[in-house]
Amino acid sequence: MKKNDSSVNNNKYLKSAIEKIYGNGDDFILLGLTGRTGSGCSTAAKILTTEKNFIVHSLYSGNMPESNEKRKEKIILNHFNSKWEPFLLVQVRSVITTFLLEYEVDQVLDKLKHIFQEVSKKGEFAALLKDLRDLYIKISTGDEKSKTEFYTDTLPSQCQKIKDLIGESSFVQLYQEVGKNIRLSGEPFQPGLHEGKFFTLAEKIDSIVKEIHSEQTEKGKSTFIVIDAIRSPLEAIYFQDRYASFYLIAVSAPEAERIGRLRKLKYSESAIEQLDKAEYTARDLNEEDFYSVQDIPSCLQRADLYISNHDENSVVNKYQNLANQLIRFVSLIRHPGIVTPSGIERCMQMAYTAKLNSGCISRQVGAVVTDKNYSVRSVGWNDAPFGQVPCNLRNRDDLLGGVDSQAYSEFERTDEKYIAHFKLSTEQFSNSALNGRNKSFCFKSEYNSYKNEKNQVHTRSLHAEENAFLQIAKYGLASIEGGILFTTASPCELCAKKAYQLGITDIVYIDPYPGIAVTHILQGGSKNPTLRLFSGAIGKAFHRLYSPIVPYKDELNALIR
């Protein structure tokens, strides 16, 4: 009898624990969206904030699934129907607006007159901003009760009115300029760099999140918040370090589709070019704007979850696939391990892990080559050829002091003009507090600076895809014709040609490579590979989403007893 009582108590204990873990325990989720303008962050945010009955998706609901992936969809759909709760929206552009509301309207118009000088409805804008400022002051002083409603509903809707009033292009120009100033100086109209102000915008968002969570908790409600959109890697790091329940979601779209969307929004070609330069220009460490402005490539590299926003020819809703991906992620966040990873996720996770072997100090890239059934044939990462020393293990002082000579090429050790340039370049580190950091350097950057060039040929590293292909040739592995290439960055022109020659039929990638590899190499011929933007979880998120908290058998047994 005592044994049975003990068994009952154990089951009750496990049941209550499971209900807490998978029930009220998931009362706080914070998602951050990142991606280039036109990729679909705002559309993703709209889906996340929508009530269940109004979300249009295409998750499998039939009784005769033709694959295990469809069976997984059916499980996700069941969880969605049972557990979905809309998210609350915190827009970064709305938060930026609050910095403008700290000033009198006349001051704002004067500071931004170079943007508004061609806007005919300046008076309407002033009136709208004044009304919003009056309400903001009431909220800040506690005269209005619901901060949640103000920050997640009123403020975004008023920002949309501003956008409609002044036009898409002027709106983006305004918020990019003001946002950059805030990230540099902590003030909307001061462009200069002020030490310690890098997280001003992130700290403001954080305070709003905490205020919303406090109000939701008082009401006995869960707090599910989506931030649209994070454009600075420092802000991504800020939230990743502070919230265990934070996930950064990268939303990407094929480049032609992204540009097409911007054109439909009446962006001129020059406006698109200016926008892309602001969001997606690679910068070296010694450039003034490094890590202080919008840097989408770095945000994409830091993302936990990836979504492909590819336009579909659906007669119902072209964003069905986008909704499917978001529903899957939210279900897995709330109930880890409810389904297993897809084959694509599994292989990209291997590529993601492989990139950590890279000794490149600029960017780590990983690649995996499989057959058509996702059976791995080779793995590669960008690095110096085997037998040479990776850049992260080389040191400026060693080269100049003649130490560890095998780590440096004959050119680096003997070319007097290059050495003279290198000595001058090294002087900038003489008074730096490196705090134990190795004084590594990128030869390509140094040589291009020496020659006043921007040539990619001088890199010491093999590309990740190239390395994976060479492993197959080096060790006589099986043919990869008809296989799949997974890469954490889409292949450059040279690697694209190799993939084409080897008969790769599918290329799954995360971050588009800035060049003409796709349109010139991969889409030029009779055997063009299919290009697919990656969708799924990688890195720590892969383990967090797919590792069950409790073995599923124990979970089910506890719930029925």
CATH code assigned at 489: 3.40.140.10
Distances (CA, A) of 520 to 253, 329, 443, 510, 528: 19, 35, 29, 19, 11
Q: Is the pLDDT of residue 290 over 60?
A: no
Residues 282 and 298 in one domain: yes
In a domain, 416, yes or no: yes
- Residue 26 has what DSSP assignment? G
In a domain, 22, yes or no: no
Out of 50-64, 153-167, 428-442, 478-492, least confident range: 428-442
In a domain, 70, yes or no: no
Out of 239-253, 281-295, 321-335, 373-387, least confident range: 281-295
**For 120-154, how does the pLDDT look when each residue is reduced to its tens digit (9 = 90+)?**
678 888 899 999 999 999 888 876 668 999 999 99
The span from the CA of 499 to the CA of 484, in Å, is: 9
Q: Quick one: pLDDT at residue 516?
A: 58
Residues 293 and 153 in one domain: yes
**For 503-545, how does the pLDDT look when each residue is reduced to its tens digit (9 = 90+)?**
999 999 987 665 655 666 666 667 788 888 899 999 999 999 9
Tell me the three state secondary structure of residue 533: strand
Q: 62: Cβ–Cβ under 8 A, 6 or more apart, which residues?
A: 74
Residues 414 and 440 in one domain: yes
Q: Quick one: pLDDT at residue 520?
A: 62
Omega before residue 420 within 30° of 0, cis: no
In a domain, 338, yes or no: no
Residues 129 and 113 in one domain: yes
Q: Quick one: pLDDT at residue 25?
A: 45
Q: Quick one: pLDDT at residue 487?
A: 95
Residues 411 and 496 in one domain: no
In a domain, 367, yes or no: yes
Tell me the three state secondary structure of residue 364: coil
The residue with greater pLDDT, 434 or 335, is 335
Do 484 and 369 touch, CB atoms closer than 8 A?
Answer: yes
* Residue 370 domain boundaries: 348-383+461-544
**For 372-400, how does the pLDDT look when each residue is reduced to its tens digit (9 = 90+)?**
999 999 999 999 999 999 999 999 999 99
Which pLDDT band, with edges at 50, 70 and 90, does 286 fall under? very low
Last residue of a domain, one of 281, 308, 335: 308
Residues 214 and 283 in one domain: yes
Tokens of 272: 């698109």
Mean pLDDT of 417-425: 95
E strand map for 12-83: 28-34
In a 10 Å sphere around its CB, with 0-12 CB exposed, 13-18 middle and 19+ buried, how is residue 416 labelled? exposed
E strand map for 287-356: 305-308
In a domain, 526, yes or no: yes
The span from the CA of 98 to the CA of 205, in Å, is: 11
Residues 261 and 409 in one domain: no
Which pLDDT band, with edges at 50, 70 and 90, does 195 fall under? confident
Do 46 and 55 touch, CB atoms closer than 8 A?
Answer: no
Residues 230 and 356 in one domain: no
Tell me the three state secondary structure of residue 24: helix
Residues 431 and 476 in one domain: no
Out of 157-166, 218-227, 322-331, 387-396, least confident range: 157-166
Tokens of 307: 């979504």
In a domain, 217, yes or no: yes
In a domain, 555, yes or no: no
Q: Is the pLDDT of residue 367 over 70?
A: yes
Q: Is the pLDDT of residue 441 over 60?
A: yes
Residues 434 and 470 in one domain: no
The residue with greater pLDDT, 163 or 292, is 163
Q: Is the pLDDT of residue 446 over 80?
A: yes
Total count of residues recorded for the chain: 561
The span from the CA of 176 to the CA of 96, in Å, is: 10
The rounded percent of the chain whose pLDDT value lies above 90 is 59
**For 295-328, how does the pLDDT look when each residue is reduced to its tens digit (9 = 90+)?**
888 898 899 999 999 876 554 567 899 999 999 9
The residue with greater pLDDT, 428 or 512, is 428
Domain count, the chain: 3
Do 209 and 239 touch, CB atoms closer than 8 A?
Answer: no
* pTM for this entry: 0.88
Q: Quick one: pLDDT at residue 89?
A: 97
Residues 101 and 171 in one domain: yes
Average pLDDT, the chain: 87
Tokens of 494: 């040279």
Q: Quick one: pLDDT at residue 435?
A: 85
The residue with greater pLDDT, 184 or 381, is 381
Residues 406 and 533 in one domain: no
Q: Is the pLDDT of residue 416 over 50?
A: yes
